[in-house]
Amino acid sequence: MADLIGETKALQASVAPEGAVISWFNIKGYLIPTLSLLLFGIAWELFAYLSAISQVLLPPPSASLVRLVEMMGPGDGSAPSYLMLRHIGATLVGLLVGFIAAALVSSAVGLLMGLNKTIYEWLNPIISLFMVIPTVAIVPVIILWSGLGMKTVIIIVALGACFPIIFTAAAGVQSIPKKMIWAAQTAGANRQQILFTVVIPATMPYLITGHKLALGRAWRAVLAGEIFASTAYGIGFMIYDARTFLDTQAMFAGLIIVGILGLVLQSLFFRYIEKSTIERWGVVSQKDI
């Protein structure tokens, strides 16, 4: 027994400064992605310099980064100051307004579909049809109806975002074990109380997944919308507009921003919500009831 304790202690000592082990793993976690991107950048840089392709068409990433930093700053007066920030701002406003509008309406529609079989049966075919039409294909029609500008971009984003939310919300409600509803009814819950104390929280894991999918679609939709429907600001507009001036450095600067913002939205946006809800409840790993 004493041997065992001694052995355990030795083992603990050998792994010892526990923090060090963990932080080493963390470094390793970031190390490979960082190196991988860096190598990709270097390869691209070399290719831009060494290949026969004109640097006008394929600018080296270093030039695009310099251009990006310039555009972020106050500028030299030839263009509006802080131009890139204005573009980013316009894109984020379009994205968030459209996404939030879609989230509110679609969650409600999805919950209703989940709760009411008749509504589900009648709406499901229509929504299935719209779901398979890429948002970009509807853009020309929306432009015809509401003209060019931010309003149109917002409508396009909302259209792109709404269907995954509706579907997952409906599926979430339908997946609630009926015995869970029965338990609430027996405890004296009326219909409204069941909606707020059982149906909505029980649907949360599905709602979060649906909103994640929707945000991905909204991100694509906002860029597509801006390319076709913006008149002054927005990253999509900027990339498309730079094409007319053969300003490839600005185009790539825009793409770099699109990539970074996309990653941030995808990986960070829902982490907090997930941590404070479904992970805390253990719903993610819990076996089906």
Partner 1 sequence: MQTHSKQPIKISVNNVTKTFGHGTGNAVTAIDGFNLEIRDGELISLLGPSGCGKSTFLYLIGGFEKITEGEILLDGVPITGPGSNRGVVFQEYVLFPWQTVARNIEYGLRLNNTPKEQRVARVKELVRMIGLEGFEDVYPFTLSGGMQQRVSIARAMAYDPDVMLMDEPFGALDAQTRNKMLVDLIGIHEKTHKTILFVTHSVEEAVMISDRVCLFSSRPSKVKEIIEIEIEHPRSVTDDRFVTYQKRLIDGLAEKDVGGQSDA
3-class DSSP state of 115 = helix
| Sequence-separated (6 or more) residues with CB below 8 Å from residue 96 | none
Q: How far is the CB of 202 from partner 1 (least distance, A)?
A: 8
Residue appearing with tokens 């929707």? 214
Q: How far is the CB of 179 from partner 1 (least distance, A)?
A: 5
The smaller minimum CB distance to partner 1, of residues 47 and 182, is found at 182
Q: How far is the CB of 114 from partner 1 (least distance, A)?
A: 17
The smaller minimum CB distance to partner 1, of residues 36 and 286, is found at 286
Give the Cα-Cα-Cα angle 13, 17, 19 (nearest 5 degrees). 145
The sign one gets for the Cα dihedral 112, 116, 117, 121 is negative
Q: Residue 53 phi/psi, 5° resolution? A: -70, 135
Q: How far is the CB of 198 from partner 1 (least distance, A)?
A: 7
Residue 174's H or E segment, with its range, is helix 150-174
Using alpha carbons, list the distances in angstroms from residue 206 to 1, 262, 266: 50, 22, 17
Q: How far is the CB of 105 from partner 1 (least distance, A)?
A: 24
The smaller minimum CB distance to partner 1, of residues 14 and 285, is found at 285
Q: Where do contacts with partner 1 occur on this chain (CB under 8 A)?
A: 177-180, 182-189, 193, 197-198, 201-202, 204, 277, 280-283, 285-286, 289
The smaller minimum CB distance to partner 1, of residues 78 and 186, is found at 186
Residue pair 135/220 in contact (Cβ under 8 Å)? The answer is yes
The smaller minimum CB distance to partner 1, of residues 146 and 277, is found at 277
| Sequence-separated (6 or more) residues with CB below 8 Å from residue 90 | 150, 226, 230, 232, 233, 234, 235, 237
Tokens of 258: 């699109």
The smaller minimum CB distance to partner 1, of residues 93 and 184, is found at 184
The smaller minimum CB distance to partner 1, of residues 77 and 188, is found at 188
Tokens of 109: 């529609």
Using alpha carbons, list the distances in angstroms from residue 178 to 85, 115, 185, 289: 50, 12, 10, 10
Q: How far is the CB of 177 from partner 1 (least distance, A)?
A: 6
Q: How far is the CB of 289 from partner 1 (least distance, A)?
A: 5
